[in-house]
Amino acid sequence: MIGTWVLYIPQVKEKLQLDDSQIGFALFCLALGLLFFIPVVPIVTKKIGLGKCTFFGICIFSIAFIGPLIAPTYVSLCVALFLVGIFSGLTDIAMNTVVSEIEKKDNVNFMSAAHGFFSLGGAIGALVGSVLIGVFSSPLYHVMIMTAFVIVTNLLLFKHYFKIREIEEEAKEKGKLPIKLMKPMFILGFLAMVVMGNEGAIEHWSSIYLTEVVQVSSENLAGLGFTVFSIMMTIGRFFGDGISAKIGSAKIVILGCALAAVGYVFVLFNGLVLTVLGFGIIGLGLSVIIPELLRIAGTTKGIAASKSISFVSGVGFVGFLLGPVILGYISDSFSLRMSYVVLLCVTFIATCIALLKLKPK
């Protein structure tokens, strides 16, 4: 659904005659809806149940994408994207918590692969959409077909997760001090903020870096960095669970941060081949970190998985929003190359914190 929606952003912008700042604020409304609802998700999942929240979240989230495409005015577009953000937050936390509960119950690792399928879904949505975008006269038909596909798939699979609830939630939290419980979450949240800040920065600025700093000879090469970054991130997520099972979540987070830092060194060499290789290394390093942080959060004793995962996801998403903005400010004040030096330093600090604070077990 996200891969499909992204294709139509230029059309929506042209239809409503919006400038860059207006479409930027509209997209921020989606993020605002997600951040607004994330703190509420644990309450909703406790009342309704994880499995049920996941089922209804996926269905409504898919249907909600119709709203931005039929919005007749700028205000209605912002409201529609805010609603998409709300159901995105519900679906995101509920699904990740379902995965965490299954992992604990069945003693298996597949959180990283689940995120890999998310990345793969975005790529497939964009790839299929690039073909279908020329077939349909209206984007509404295209999105409705994708919505129907997602809902039908969900109906075929929901029996496997619909009845899942958080195990012994009340017993785990009883008699504990909230501040003491949340202390490890701040470390995980900081690491998530750094990692997702890096993801957001590369998503928004990698093409500009190749154009302005590396000075690629063709515009077609400008997106090569993000393409390689995305491919390596998808691959890394599918292999992450097997590596995690052998060396543990803490070590894989430390290695992932270190690998990303090495990638930034390659990016800063400013040659096309080395820079693109660097973006690939960063993608491989970052790919496994968020799934592992959510896995650690979901298995932290004394706090419900939905609360710990929603906290870490929420703080991480703040990083995703602020990363590109801070990077732009540094670029304006100094240079774009300097902003990538800052990303290298922050990633190195995250590596040190992970090394010092995350327990091997």
- Residue pair 55/154 in contact (Cβ under 8 Å)? The answer is yes
One domain, residues 145 and 218: no
Q: Do 89 and 163 fall into the same domain?
A: yes
258 & 315 share domain: yes
Q: Is residue 13's pLDDT more than 80?
A: yes
Q: How many domains does the chain have?
A: 2
Give the type of residue at 283: G
- Select from 135, 167, 199 the last residue of a domain: 167
Contact criterion met (CB below 8 Å) for 282 and 265: no
Looking at the structure, tell me whether residues 159 and 192 fall in a common domain: no
Mean pLDDT over the full length of the chain: 87
* Whether residue 92 is found in the same domain as residue 153: yes
Same domain, 350 and 249: yes
For 333, the domain range is 174-357
Pairwise CA distance, residues 89 & 35, whole Å: 7
In terms of domains, do 32 and 156 share one?
yes
DSSP per-residue letters across 32-47: HHHHHHGGGHHHHHHH
Q: Cα separation of 33 and 354, whole Å? A: 30
- What distance in Å separates the CA atoms of residue 94 and residue 34, rounded to the nearest whole number? 13
- Do 254 and 345 lie in one domain? The reply is yes
Alpha-carbon span 185 to 306, nearest angstrom: 12
Q: Is 269 helix (H, G, I), strand (E, B) or coil?
A: coil
pTM: 0.81
pLDDT of residue 70: 92
pLDDT for the residue 177: 46
Q: What is the pLDDT of residues 85-135, one digit of tens each?
A: 999 989 989 999 999 899 888 888 899 999 889 888 887 887 788 788 888
Indicate whether 15 and 156 sit together in one domain: yes
Supply the CATH number for residue 338's domain: 1.20.1250.20
Give the confidence band of 195 by pLDDT, cuts at 50, 70, 90: very high
Mark whether 197 and 263 lie in a shared domain: yes
- Whether 160 and 199 share a structural domain: no
CA 136 to chain centre: 29
Domain match, 94 and 138 both: yes
308 near 229, Cβ under 8 Å?
Answer: no
- Is the backbone of residue 51 left (phi > 0), alpha (psi -120 to 50) or beta? alpha
